[in-house]
Amino acid sequence: MDEEEHKLRPLKCELFALSRPDGSAMLIQGDTAVLAAMYGPVEVKAQKMSIEKASVEAVYRPKVGVPRIADKTREELIRNTCEISLMATLHPRTSVVVILQEMQDSGGLLSCALNAGCLALINSGISMKFLIAAVNCMINKDDAVILDPDNKQLKESKATLMFVFDNVQKNVVACHTSGMFSQTQFHECLLKCREASDIVFAFYRNIVNQYANVV
């Protein structure tokens, strides 16, 4: 595999990006940017209350216009992933809300949103079972796997795959795919994305250490 295919686009992050939420983060990956805010645990309406665990809600806001069907799909995947990663049973009868604002989409928007959401949760200090890292890849017309493609590269794709991993066992927490691919290609993408998730987790550690020194 070409050396370039091992790389993700440059990651940049600002924690405490907003003052009012309990946790917030601005994540930039290449030219894709997402602003994430987390509120909770807070009081929850009776119809959404669970006596066993916190109710987790995700709100995805596109750059312009109202949310579309694709945005609602993103919301559901983000909500499910955040709920799995949180120790929600520690906060029964409460709500945790994660809000994601798309700032710029230059490829890999969903993975950027998931990683921004994880950083906002880290910033809030809420208890988590594990951290999550989302990695996007594509299969081009020559059947080569390209990690973290931008919009220009995506024009040459015949399939895109995104995997979300935990930082404990590197198990797959969530997966989102589109296009046509073989089982062999799926496993090749999975292995390369799992390896690349180390870059994301290392980035989290660096950001937390950086802000810990500031605080």
**In tens digits, what is the pLDDT along the chain, a chain of 215 residues?**
344 455 899 999 999 989 899 999 999 999 999 999 999 887 776 656 666 777 888 999 998 888 788 888 889 999 999 989 998 777 777 889 999 999 999 999 999 999 999 999 999 999 999 999 999 999 999 999 999 999 999 999 999 999 999 999 999 999 999 999 999 999 999 999 999 999 999 999 999 888 876 54
pTM > 0.75: yes or no:
yes
CA-CA-CA-CA torsion sign (163, 112, 179, 141): negative
What is the rounded radius of gyration, in angstroms, for the C-alpha atoms of the chain? 17
Distance between CA atoms of 74 and 176, rounded to whole angstroms? Answer: 10
Please tell me the predicted confidence (pLDDT) of residue 47: 57
DSSP 185-206: HHHHHHHHHHHHHHHHHHHHHH
pLDDT value of residue 28 = 97
Q: Rounded CA gap, 78 and 100, in Å?
A: 9
Domain 3-214: CATH architecture, name and number where available: 2-Layer Sandwich (3.30)
pLDDT in tens, 107-139: 999 999 999 999 999 999 999 999 999 999 999
| Distance of alpha carbon 172 from alpha carbon 115, whole angstroms | 15
Q: What is the pLDDT of residue 91?
A: 73
